[in-house]
Amino acid sequence: MRESPSVSTNDSTGTLAPVSPQRAESNLWFGMVLAHAAAAMLFCAVAFAADFYRMRGFWPPASALPGRFVPSLAGVLLVAGGVLLHGALRRVAGPRRARGWMLGVLFAGTGFLATQAAWLHGLWWHRDLRIPDSGVFASVLYGLSAVQAAHAAVVLTGLLRATLRTLRGFDARAPLRRALPGWWCTTVMYGVLFAVVYLP
């Protein structure tokens, strides 16, 4: 399995000096965690604002809320993808064994996005849950769903790149480790969305 090329940076003299792959990867991982934390803070701030409107009465009654089966299925796909991602990390030392797990993660993530898109499309066109006619509830539903789906798409793009690297013979452990906090951050964000929007 081929290693990724070493990373370089500027030292105190202004010349390029090699940096160990371990240190470079540590910096990248820390940066990814900070980015996901910032996105999660923004998402939770919007969710708490939505909960404020909910307590003020700008919310449909429980009988008028959309069904929860399809959103629950989307959540199951996210959790399953996280489990498969952990499995891929354990088996990535043997690329042929890891590829199936990584493809499973991509399938789960793509299935999640497709399920969400089909569900929201149905709410918009078949249940007339539209912005601005349906008020705060519709704005919260589509707004939070869009932010969370965008976050999931970014994580999936990184996983696709890691899978392609594995197929080319490169070591994909580092990209997978970077994707792991993003995946679970996406899962937690979806849990917040589900609690705010779909639970009575």
Higher-confidence position of 68 and 30:
68
Domain topology for 40-58+65-197: Four Helix Bundle (Hemerythrin (Met), subunit A) (1.20.120)
Note the pLDDT of residue 37. Answer: 72
pTM: 0.77
How do residues 125-180 score in pLDDT, each as one tens digit?
888 888 888 888 888 888 888 888 888 898 899 888 888 877 777 777 777 887 88
Q: Under DSSP, is residue 12 helix (H, G, I), strand (E, B) or coil? A: coil
- Distance, in Å, from the CA atom of 188 to the CA atom of 10, rounded to the nearest integer, reads 38
CB 61 within 8 A of CB 156: no
| b/e sequence 13-37, b meaning 16+ C-beta within 10 Å | eeeeeeeeeeebbeeeeeebeeebe
